[in-house]
Chains A and B, each alone.
Chain A
Amino acid sequence: MSEANQQPEMMSGGAMLIRALHDQGVKYVYGYPGGAVLHIYDAIHQQDKVEHILVRHEQAATHMADAYARATGKAGVVLVTSGPGATNAVTGIATAYMDSIPMVIITGQVMSHLIGDDAFQETDMMGISRPIVKHNMSVKNPADIPMMVKKAFYIAESGRPGPVVIDVPKDMTMPNGRFPYHYPTEVSLRSYNPVQKGHSGQIRKAANVLLSAKQPMIYSGGGIIMGDASNELRELAQLLGYPVTNTLMGLGGYPATDKQFVGMLGMHGTFEANNAMHHADVILALGARFDDRVTNNVKKFCPNATIIHVDIDPTSISKTIDSHIPIVGPVKPVIAELIEQIKASEQKPDAEALAAWWQQINEWRERKGGHYKTDNSGQIKPQQVVEAVWRLTKGDAYVTSDVGQHQMFAAQYYRFDKPYRWINSGGLGTMGFGLPAAMGVKLNFPEAEVVCVTGEGSIQMNIQELSTCKQYGLGVKILNLNNGYLGMVKQWQDMNYESRYSNSYMDSLPDFMKLAEAYGHIGITIRHIDELEAKLAEAFSYKDRLVFIDVIVDPTEHVYPMQVPMGKMNDMFLSKTERT
Chain B
Amino acid sequence: MRHLLSVLMENEPGALARVVGLFAQRGYNIESLTVAPTEDKTLSRMTLVTKGEDKVIEQITKQLNKLIEVVKVIDLTEGAHVERELMLIKVKAPTPVREEIKRTADIFRGQIIDVTPTSYTIQLTGTSDKLDAFIEALSGMQILEVARTGVSGVSRGEKLLLV
Contacts of A556 in B (CB 8 A): none
Q: Are A315 and B59 within 8 A (Cβ)?
A: yes
Tell whether A257 is near chain B: CB-to-CB under 8 Å. no
Contacts of B62 in A (CB 8 A): 314-315
Shortest distance from the beta carbon of A298 to any chain B beta carbon, whole Å: 12
Contacts of A191 in B (CB 8 A): 9-10, 68-71
Q: Mark A124-156, 1 if CB is under 8 A from B, else 0.
A: 001100110011101000000000000000010
Q: Are A131 and B66 within 8 A (Cβ)?
A: no
Once bound together, how far apart are the Cα atoms of A346 and B99, in whole Å?
A: 82
Interface of A is mostly: mixed
Q: Which of B17-25, B118-126, B136-144 contacts A (4 or more CB under 8 A)?
A: B17-25
Contacts of A131 in B (CB 8 A): 21, 25
Q: Are A319 and B68 within 8 A (Cβ)?
A: no
Contact residues, A468-513 vs B (CB, 8 A): none
Q: Are B63 and A315 within 8 A (Cβ)?
A: yes
Once bound together, how far apart are the Cα atoms of A565 and B128, in whole Å?
A: 45
Tell whether B55 is near chain A: CB-to-CB under 8 Å. yes
Q: Are B68 and A189 within 8 A (Cβ)?
A: yes
Tell whether A533 is near chain B: CB-to-CB under 8 Å. no
Tell whether B106 is near chain A: CB-to-CB under 8 Å. no
One of B17, B25, B58, B68 near A192 (C-beta < 8 A): B68
Tell whether B96 is near chain A: CB-to-CB under 8 Å. no
Once bound together, how far apart are the Cα atoms of A190 and B9, in whole Å?
A: 10
Tell whether A51 is near chain B: CB-to-CB under 8 Å. no
Q: Are A318 and B68 within 8 A (Cβ)?
A: no
Q: Are A319 and B59 within 8 A (Cβ)?
A: yes
Once bound together, how far apart are the Cα atoms of A189 and B69, in whole Å?
A: 9
Q: Are A313 and B21 within 8 A (Cβ)?
A: no
Once bound together, how far apart are the Cα atoms of A315 and B22, in whole Å?
A: 13
Tell whether B65 is near chain A: CB-to-CB under 8 Å. yes
Contacts of A138 in B (CB 8 A): 14
B71 nearest in chain A by CB position: A191
Known interface pairs A127-B17, A130-B21; A135-B66 also in contact (CB < 8 Å):
no
Contacts of A126 in B (CB 8 A): 14
Which of B55, B66, B70 lies at the interface centre, i.e. has the most chain A CB atoms within 10 A of its CB? B66
B60 nearest in chain A by CB position: A315
Tell whether B147 is near chain A: CB-to-CB under 8 Å. no
Once bound together, how far apart are the Cα atoms of A130 and B21, in whole Å?
A: 8
Known interface pairs A130-B21, A315-B62, A315-B63; A155-B14 also in contact (CB < 8 Å):
no
Which of A138, A313, A319 lies at the interface centre, i.e. has the most chain B CB atoms within 10 A of its CB? A319
Contact residues, B34-52 vs A (CB, 8 A): none
Known interface pairs A130-B21, A155-B68, A319-B59; A190-B163 also in contact (CB < 8 Å):
yes
Once bound together, how far apart are the Cα atoms of A189 and B42, in whole Å?
A: 13
Once bound together, how far apart are the Cα atoms of A155 and B21, in whole Å?
A: 20
Once bound together, how far apart are the Cα atoms of A283 and B163, in whole Å?
A: 37
Q: Are B58 and A318 within 8 A (Cβ)?
A: yes
Which of B21, B63, B68, B71 lies at the interface centre, i.e. has the most chain A CB atoms within 10 A of its CB? B68
Known interface pairs A190-B71, A190-B163; A314-B65 also in contact (CB < 8 Å):
yes
Contacts of B18 in A (CB 8 A): 130
One of A127, A134, A314, A315 near B68 (C-beta < 8 A): A134
Shortest distance from the beta carbon of A319 to any chain B beta carbon, whole Å: 6
B65 nearest in chain A by CB position: A314
Shortest distance from the beta carbon of A157 to any chain B beta carbon, whole Å: 14
Once bound together, how far apart are the Cα atoms of A191 and B65, in whole Å?
A: 9
Q: Mark A2-35, 1 if CB is under 8 A from B, else 0.
A: 0000000000000000000000000000000000
Q: Are B71 and A318 within 8 A (Cβ)?
A: no
Q: Are B10 and A313 within 8 A (Cβ)?
A: no
Contacts of B65 in A (CB 8 A): 314
Once bound together, how far apart are the Cα atoms of A192 and B71, in whole Å?
A: 7
A151 nearest in chain B by CB position: B68
Q: Mark A163-207, 1 if CB is under 8 A from B, else 0.
A: 000000000000000000000000001111000000000000000
Contacts of A155 in B (CB 8 A): 68
Shortest distance from the beta carbon of B135 to any chain A beta carbon, whole Å: 36
Q: Mark B72-86, 1 if CB is under 8 A from A, else 0.
A: 000000000000000
Once bound together, how far apart are the Cα atoms of A190 and B163, in whole Å?
A: 8
Contacts of B63 in A (CB 8 A): 315
Contacts of B58 in A (CB 8 A): 318
Contacts of B69 in A (CB 8 A): 191
Contacts of B163 in A (CB 8 A): 190
Q: Are B71 and A315 within 8 A (Cβ)?
A: no
Q: Are B10 and A315 within 8 A (Cβ)?
A: no
Once bound together, how far apart are the Cα atoms of A315 and B59, in whole Å?
A: 6
Once bound together, how far apart are the Cα atoms of A126 and B68, in whole Å?
A: 15
Once bound together, how far apart are the Cα atoms of A319 and B17, in whole Å?
A: 24
Shortest distance from the beta carbon of B35 to any chain A beta carbon, whole Å: 16
Contacts of A127 in B (CB 8 A): 17
Contacts of A190 in B (CB 8 A): 71, 163
Q: Are B17 and A130 within 8 A (Cβ)?
A: yes
Which of B25, B58, B62 lies at the interface centre, i.e. has the most chain A CB atoms within 10 A of its CB? B62
B10 nearest in chain A by CB position: A191
Contacts of B14 in A (CB 8 A): 126, 130, 136, 138
Contacts of A192 in B (CB 8 A): 68
Q: Are A135 and B68 within 8 A (Cβ)?
A: yes
Once bound together, how far apart are the Cα atoms of A134 and B71, in whole Å?
A: 16
Once bound together, how far apart are the Cα atoms of A325 and B106, in whole Å?
A: 55
Once bound together, how far apart are the Cα atoms of A126 and B55, in whole Å?
A: 30
Contacts of A319 in B (CB 8 A): 59
Q: Mark B1-39, 1 if CB is under 8 A from A, else 0.
A: 000000001100010011001000100000000000000
Shortest distance from the beta carbon of A226 to any chain B beta carbon, whole Å: 17
Contacts of B25 in A (CB 8 A): 131
Once bound together, how far apart are the Cα atoms of A136 and B69, in whole Å?
A: 10
Q: Are A313 and B66 within 8 A (Cβ)?
A: yes
Q: Are A318 and B17 within 8 A (Cβ)?
A: no
Contacts of A136 in B (CB 8 A): 14
Contacts of B66 in A (CB 8 A): 313-315
Contacts of B55 in A (CB 8 A): 318
A137 nearest in chain B by CB position: B14
Shortest distance from the beta carbon of B65 to any chain A beta carbon, whole Å: 7
8 further contact pairs, Cβ within 8 A, besides A135-B68, A315-B66: A127-B17, A130-B18, A130-B21, A131-B21, A190-B71, A315-B59, A318-B55, A319-B59
Q: Can you spell out 6 A-B residue pairs with CB atoms less than 8 angstroms apart?
A: A130-B14, A138-B14, A191-B10, A191-B68, A192-B68, A318-B55
Question: What 4 pairs between A and B have smallest CB-CB spacing?
Answer: A191-B71, A315-B62, A135-B68, A314-B62
A: which residues have CB within 8 A of B?
A: 126-127, 130-131, 134-136, 138, 155, 189-192, 313-315, 318-319
